[in-house]
Amino acid sequence: MSTAPEGSTSDRRHAPPTGPESAAAVVGNGTVVIPSPSKASHRLRLNPSSDHDPESYDDLQNQVEFSPMLLSSLEKYLPPQLLSLPRDSKANYMRDILLRYSPEGERTRVLKHRDYRQRILASYKPLNRELYTLHPPSFFVPSFLEAIKENTAESFRRIMTEPSPGIYVFKMFQRSTCQTLLSEVENFERWVHDANFRIMRPNTMNKYGAVLDDFGMEGMLSRMMDDFVRPIAKVLFPEVGGSTLDSHHGFVVEYGIDRDVELGFHVDDSEVTLNVCLGEQFSGGELFFRGVRCDKHINSEAQSEEILDYCHVPGYAVLHRGRHRHGARATTSGRRVNLILWCRSSVFKEMKKYQTDFSRWCGECQRTKRARHKLSIATTKLELMKRERKVAS
């Protein structure tokens, strides 16, 4: 079962709908009329103006429903006469084109989710402001920082253990990071209770926990993925888009007697998942793994080497492919809180649509391929023997 987040928006935002007159964009000191008479004729060029240096749209994140990165990459494809226009005009032009390809239902969902986030941010008061900007030296342990700085396969392997193929464990968060995150999570829950606010839980399987991105931590987690997860994933998980991770879903889960108790067997809606235990005192709650599978083989039996039960240690991270089947055993006493970062690659998702053989990462596809290979060798041998016998007789 795949756990699609209820309110996940990837990284798109929504802007207020504009009327038919929006082809004329009002910008700064006057009105710039975009040359085309109707939006339907807005077009991009086939070949990019490769010497053009595109602008940054980062600060428009809350005003435009498309990712600032997408706008920056599209800019080179604008008709040359538009390249020198003010940034807002270019943004509007590209937006009109993109809207033609974006389904209405999806846009409404994105709009609703943006309003939901704004309602939280307008009334939620963070307890630990320092958590909202990533400050690596105080967040991470020195060994982890050094490995990232060195940025080689050897430096990553040095700080990691691999208790089962494709599952990497390493010390990541400082004790103080865990504690401040825990107190912030408590603060979320208190606020949700006191304000009687109905929040969207992290995914369809957890009734407790909170989406950190909805509480203002999106920027911090983006940076964590860009600067700290992607370099590792590029080396360890290249076959599932590790080097092209470009969006995330970040949340905390809470387990215990008065929280979620356990989590059934599932795969994540991610290419790569980072799971960091924040604490606190608990028993039980082991993470169990049963091998990586593609959609077709999602229910196939696990091989003995794929079976792993892992006990969480506060401050330690587990990094695995999203398609690595797993679940969490019951937390039998105390309370356990984990930070989870689902990292996704739009490039990999797109490429996957056109593939049928996933033997580079699916354990079952690998086995099938090996078996086919063996069979074909055996058949060839038999054929050769028959021919030899014929020649001899």
- Quick check: 292 binds Zn ion (CB under 5 A)? no
Residue 320: CB minimum distance to Zn ion, A = 17
For Zn ion, give the closer residue by CB, 239 or 383: 239
Query: Which residues does 105 contact at the CB level (< 8 Å), separation at least 6?
Result: none
- Give whole-number Cα distances, 5 to 22, 287, 355, in Å: 34, 20, 25
- Per DSSP, helices labelled H in the chain are 68-74, 87-101, 104-123, 136-139, 142-150, 153-159, 175-195, 218-224, 230-236, 346-352, 363-392
The answer to whether residue 184 forms part of the interface with Zn ion (CB under 5 A) is no
361 forms part of the interface with Zn ion (CB under 5 A): no
306 binds Zn ion (CB under 5 A): no
CA 336, 337, 339, 342 dihedral sign is positive
Q: Does 362 bind Zn ion (CB under 5 A)?
A: yes
DSSP 131: G
CA-nearest of 58, 310, 49 to 164 is 310
What residue has token string 């407790």?
208
| Least CB distance to Zn ion at residue 255 (A) | 30
Q: Which stretch binds Zn ion (CB under 5 A): 20-28, 163-171, 276-284, 364-372?
A: 364-372
- What b/e readout covers 174-185, taking b as 16+ CB neighbours within 10 angstroms? beebbbbbbebb
149 vs 360 by CB, closer to Zn ion = 360
Contact between 267 and Zn ion by CB under 5 A: the answer reads: no
Q: Is 294 in the site for Zn ion (CB under 5 A)?
A: yes
Q: In this chain, which stretch among 45-53, 210-218, 264-272, 288-296 interacts with Zn ion, using CB under 5 A?
A: 288-296
The least CB distance from residue 183 to Zn ion, in Å, is 43
> And the tokens for 210?
């909170």
Residue 254 makes contact with Zn ion by CB under 5 A: no
How many beta carbons lie within 10 A of that of residue 197, not counting itself? 14
Interface region with Zn ion, contact rule CB under 5 A, candidates 53-61, 122-130, 208-216, 355-363: 355-363
Residue with Cβ nearer Zn ion (157 or 352):
352
Least Å distance, CB 294 to Zn ion, is 3
Binding-site member from 297, 325, 326, 344 for Zn ion (CB under 5 A)? 297
Between 135 and 296, whose beta carbon lies closer to Zn ion? 296
Q: For the window 224-243, what string marks contact with Zn ion as x by the rule CB under 5 A?
A: --------------------
How far lies 152's CA from each of 146, 149, 159, 339, 341, in Å?
A: 11, 9, 12, 25, 22
Q: Which residues bind Zn ion (CB under 5 A)?
A: 294, 297, 358, 362, 364-365
